[in-house]
Amino acid sequence: MEKEIREAQEKFAELIRSEYERIEKMKAEQEITDFGKLEKIIVGVLPGDGIGPIIMEQALRVLKDLMGPELETGKLEIRVIEGMTIENRAAKLQSLPDEVLDEVLKCNVLLKGPMVTPRASDPWPNLLSANSLLRRKLELFAAVRPIRIPEKNIDWTFFRENIEGEYIWGNKGIQVNEDLAVDFKVQTRQGSERIARAAFEFARKNGKKNVTIVTKANIVKLADGNFIKAVRKVGEEYPEIEIQERLVDAMCAKMLDTEFNKGIEVIVLPNLYGDIVTDVAAEHQGGLGTASSSNLGNRYAMFEAIHGTAPYLIEHNRGAYADPCSLIRAVGMMLAHIGYGDRKELLEQALDICTVTERKKVVTTMPEDASAEEFTDYLLETIEKIRA
């Protein structure tokens, strides 16, 4: 027993040590890319697995249409990055193969399709999540996930901390012996403050008056308690913005309850709660296929759909009927982030026509309805009409 305890202690010490280094790095890396000042913006494209390449093809048609002039002059470049497939990752036994990371680091922003994250029961080697690795390597500390449900008067923006919490040591838990397993939850002051700042800055810039902190601080005393403390401290610099707190279980259960969700506009929350709550919210919005996410850091940013690779559709030969909207919305978020908010507006306007008001072609994933390509034809025609 003593030997097992000593080994566990040593592993734990190693983990703590790595965290000291990461904190120093966070303190040092405060410079923020100003996309307006870049001569050229390189968009790296990672199509992903399953339905990823299918919906990416359509998303790229939209991107090329919206950014025609900039692509022509070379102000924008689209660079498809090969090798980030589950087959290649499994063959190399690397979640994020070195040659892929090299290419990724040469880009400014990334557009990413869904990727397989193997589970123990899958035929693939049990690789680390490529998502978490990309977020960590590029320091994409903020997952920004908008949710709009107009008929319920909901217009929320989630700021999910994207690196720490249960994710950061996700594959470094300690199996002390056959009976005892320990995983960790890590929260740093720096990590909490930077997501808080991102949330308050967004609130201020967008005229929002409320930031809601969602945790389970009644149980997770330290990690969540410190998260709240950090958010409140940063909040002192934004006196015009009111702060409130909610518990994560109640938030999941009652988010549509108008008494409960009163005042909510911007929501800031630790990583795992953010993962879960944003899925619940996306379902209320109309399904995971309708939601998209940006992963923002000081230097890089990555834009993606929040759904998975849809193996069911692929197995049933319905990949071509996958809904490309979530990834297309991610294109819009990306364009706004790099300074083309007007193109995002145009795209959103067209999406509203195609998915809410007019709905001449509908994607249900069934072959009797529109395919991803047919829907995108319709969307591009609609964009053209708005332009004219």
* CB neighbour list of residue 58: distance below 8 Å, 6 or more residues apart: 324, 327, 328, 372, 373, 375, 376
Partner whose binding site includes residue 192, from Mn ion, ligand IPM, none (CB under 5 to 8 Å by kind): none
Residue 261 interacts with, from ligand IPM, Mn ion, none (CB under 5-8 Å by kind): none
Smallest gap from Cβ 263 to ligand IPM, in A, equals: 25
Indicate the residue among 275 and 323 with the shorter CB distance to ligand IPM. 275
Instruction: Give phi and psi for 264, each to the nearest 5.
Output: -65, 130
CB 129, min distance to ligand IPM, A: 4
Least distance (Å) from ligand IPM to the CB of residue 308? 7
Contacted entry of Mn ion, ligand IPM, none for residue 62, CB cut-off 5 to 8 Å set by kind: none
Of all residues in the shown chain, the one whose CB is closest to Mn ion is: 275
Q: How far is the CB of 384 from ligand IPM (least distance, A)?
A: 33
- The dihedral over CA atoms of 367, 373, 378, 383, expressed in degrees to the nearest 10, equals 150
- Find the binding residues for ligand IPM in span 279-318 (CB under 6 A): 306
Please, what is the minimum distance in Å from the beta carbon of residue 31 to Mn ion? Answer: 29
**What are the residues facing 149 on neighbouring strands?**
154
Going by DSSP bridges, is the β-strand pair 181-182/174-175 parallel, antiparallel, or unpaired? antiparallel
108 vs 326, beta carbon nearer Mn ion: 326
Task: Tell me the CA end-to-end span of the chain in Å, nearest whole number.
Answer: 76
* Shortest Å, Cβ 145 to ligand IPM: 8
Q: 213 forms bridges with which residues in the sheet?
A: 245, 268
Q: Judged by CB under 6 A, how many residues of this single chain contact ligand IPM?
A: 6
Q: Which of 294, 184, 164, 172 is nearest to 230 (CA)?
A: 164
Going residue by residue from 250 to 279, which x/- string records binding to Mn ion, judged by CB under 5 A?
A: -------------------------x----
DSSP string, 165-234: BTTTTTT--EE-SSS-EE---B--HHHHHHHHHHHHHHHHHTT--EEEEEE-TTTSHHHHHHHHHHHHHH
120-139 residues in contact with ligand IPM (CB under 6 A) are: 129, 131-132
In terms of Cα–Cα distance, which of 169, 154, 135, 191 is closest to 285?
154
Interstrand relation of 154-161 and 181-182 (parallel, antiparallel or unpaired): unpaired
The interface with ligand IPM within residues 61-120 (CB under 6 A) comprises 117
Where is 73: in which H helix or E strand? helix 68-73
Cα separation, 96 vs 123, in Å, equals 18
Q: Which is nearer to Mn ion, 271 or 298 (CB)?
A: 271
Residue 163 CB, nearest distance to ligand IPM (Å)?
10
Q: Which is nearer to Mn ion, 201 or 279 (CB)?
A: 279
Q: Which is nearer to ligand IPM, 66 or 110 (CB)?
A: 110
Question: What is the contact surface with Mn ion in residues (CB under 5 A)?
Answer: 275
State the residues that interact with ligand IPM by CB under 6 A.
117, 129, 131-132, 275, 306
